[in-house]
Amino acid sequence: MELPTVVGPLGNATEIEKYGTVLCVGGCYGIGSIFPIARALKQAGNKVITLIEARSSYLFYWEERYKEISDQFVHITRDGTKGYKGHVDRLPEIIKSLDEPVDRVIVNGCTYCLKRVSDATRPLEIPTWVSLNPIMIDGTGMCGVCRVSVGSETRFACVHGPDFDGHEVNWEELLQRRKTYMPEEVVPLRTSKSEEHPHQHREGCHG
């Protein structure tokens, strides 16, 4: 494998403190990226509940690693092949089923996953921190492409983030900005072998 360019790490490290009971949610690539956060939270003395979600159970990985650092480990699959069936929209009932209240939620995953978790925890008033992944160009705070609205402020995810209060993020604006290059993003798909299968389509992680 060849990596032509790598930049990072960008922004600020996730704040690790003793919060009490922390629910770590990982979807998509977040299944991998939430692991060091969950491990650090455990080492800091938190009770860690890990929730990973995917389209189907065959997409899960690192489950043994998660079991080692999690006090409780929960799965969601959209096809119901493991754990709860559905999406992170099922979070309220999952949280209610836990033995104790959740003091903080930390989420890594696609923008839809981050938004849905934030929407689910807002009425429950559980502080929720999301790792934002807007489109980035320079990654140094100069181009402004990664700007997001958080509360009344404009923030650059590459230098001020990536972690923000999910209840304060302007999700509609962020989702709109994420779609900016969608036509260009599908060009390689149209010109790839998948063209031979006209009914085949890319299923996004929010699909």
Give the footprint of ligand FES on this chain (CB under 6 A): 136-139, 141-146, 156, 158
Q: How far is the CB of 117 from ligand FES (least distance, A)?
A: 23
Q: Judged by CB, which is closer to ligand FES: 93, or 138? A: 138
Q: How far is the CB of 132 from ligand FES (least distance, A)?
A: 11
Token pair for 23: 């629910």
Q: How far is the CB of 160 from ligand FES (least distance, A)?
A: 9
Q: Judged by CB, which is closer to ligand FES: 51, or 150? A: 150
Q: Judged by CB, which is closer to ligand FES: 143, or 189? A: 143
- State which H helix or E strand residue 6 sits in: none
Q: How far is the CB of 193 from ligand FES (least distance, A)?
A: 32
Q: Judged by CB, which is closer to ligand FES: 92, or 141? A: 141
d(CA 121, CA 25): 12
18-54 burial, b at 16+ Cβ within 10 Å, e below that, comes to ebebbbbbbbbebbebbbebbbbbbeeebbbbbbbbb
Q: Cα-Cα-Cα-Cα dihedral of 35, 36, 39, 41, to 10°?
A: -110
Three-state DSSP class for 91? helix
